[in-house]
């Protein structure tokens, strides 16, 4: 068995991400914004991973 080429590994990775419902996004940003953008993306991913919370109903008076 031979090792996969870089192109084959990338194809497999892209197919797995597409199957997971992800889309590729290329974004040009100022270097100073890089950390904040990555942190916000991680925060959004964590929120998406949480199970849907039931809507809170206020108590009757």
Ordered by start, the domain boundaries in the chain are 8-47
Residue 50 φ/ψ, nearest 5 degrees: -70, 145
Q: Is this prediction's pTM over 0.85?
A: no
pLDDT tens digit string along 2-52? 899 999 999 999 999 999 999 999 999 999 999 999 999 999 999 988 876
User: Is the separation of the CB atoms in 12 and 4 below 8 Å?
Assistant: yes
Q: State whether the Cα torsion 25-45-43-47 is positive or negative.
A: positive
Q: Helices in the chain by DSSP H: which ranges?
A: 6-19, 34-49
Indicate if the pLDDT at residue 53 is higher than 70: no
Residues present in the chain in total: 61
């Amino acid at each position: 068995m031979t090792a996969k080429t870089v192109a084959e590994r990338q194809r497999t990775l892209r197919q797995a991400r597409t199957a997971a419902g992800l889309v590729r996004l290329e974004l040009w940003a100022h270097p100073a914004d890089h950390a904040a953008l990555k942190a916000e993306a991680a925060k959004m991913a964590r929120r998406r991973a949480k199970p849907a919370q039931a809507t809170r109903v206020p108590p009757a008076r």
